[in-house]
Amino acid sequence: MVGKVRMEFTPLVNHWWNVPLYVSARGLTTSIIPCGDVVFELEFDFIDHKLRIVTSRGDAAQLALRPRSVADFYAEFMASLSKLGIDAKISPLPQEVPDPIPFDRDEQHKSYDPDAAHRFWRVLLAVDTVLKEFRSRFIGKCSPVHFFWGSFDLAVTRFSGRRAPPRPEADLMTREAYSHEVSSVGWWTGGGDVDGPVFYAYAAPEPESFAQQKVKPQSAFYHPTLHEFFLNYDDVRRSASPRQSLLDFAQSTYEAAANLGAWDRAALERQPPAPRPAVASKE
């Protein structure tokens, strides 16, 4: 619901960058959204377990995050937006989930576990920090570190600067997402063939022999069906340095994609910064 509201009011940014959410100091936020002569923001607070809606006029609303049906939450959410003068028209059909039930008719899903939500956000905080460090090494076109609410993953994507071969058989979303060559890394809650949370990395289009490349750390592996490298979250969490394990995974998978894809790495990567000048003592 929240992601669909952001998508409705914001102009399309390349590769759907106007769609995701961002990790915040209390949860996940849309960042500011334009709406006529006002801007508003929606933030999930996973400390106090509220969804807050605030506007540049100074008014606000909040909804409790608690066990209740999707239909009940949807009705209150849309009513709260309306009271704040935000005329949101979104499709009530969820996306990227099997057998979707329209929000206004979903009495089946009604659980909310505040402890799990809080722990989930704490993982996002830690991963977001490391992915931003990895992102800082690249001066070419690069996405923000952002959370895609449809697939429930936190990701950052680097671009070679070249257009990718067209995908005429792909849907609109996929064609826009992969219009240019990319190397992407992120964290995903898992699902389907992937049991449990993982870090993932892929290249699109995938260079020849990408799957055979040696990447770090040693426990990382290539999934032949999904065409991605994976690294189990628990392997990183239990490592001597989780930060270094994730950076190694991100860097080695990127280098595999960039080297095989003949990226202009000298032009795209930040060189080691010059040492800071010494500051003279006043004493």
Mean pLDDT throughout 249-255? Answer: 98
DSSP-assigned states of every residue in the chain: -HHHHHHHHSPP-GGGTTS-BEE-SSEEE---EEETTEEEEEEEETTTTEEEEEETTS-EEEEE-SS--HHHHHHHHHHHHHHTT-------S-SSSSS---GGG--S-----HHHHHHHHHHHHHHHHHHHHHHTTB-SSB---EEETTTTEEEEEEEEEEEPPP-TTS-HHHHHHTSEEEEEEEEE--BTTB-S-EEEEEEESPPTTGGG---SSTT-EEETTTTEEEEEHHHHHTSS-HHHHHHHHHHHHHHHHHHHTT--HHHHBPPPPPPPPPPPP--
pLDDT in tens, 9-28: 999 999 999 999 999 999 99
Band the pLDDT of 278: cuts 50, 70, 90.
low
Asked whether the predicted pLDDT for residue 281 surpasses 50, the reply is: no
Q: How far is Cα of residue 214 from the mean position of the Cα atoms in its chain?
A: 26
Could you tell me the two tokens for 198?
Answer: 């993982």
Q: Look at the block and give the residue holding tokens 């063939």.
A: 193
pLDDT in tens, 217-247: 999 999 999 999 999 999 999 999 999 999 9
pLDDT in tens, 96-132: 888 999 999 999 999 999 999 999 999 999 999 999 9
pTM here? 0.92
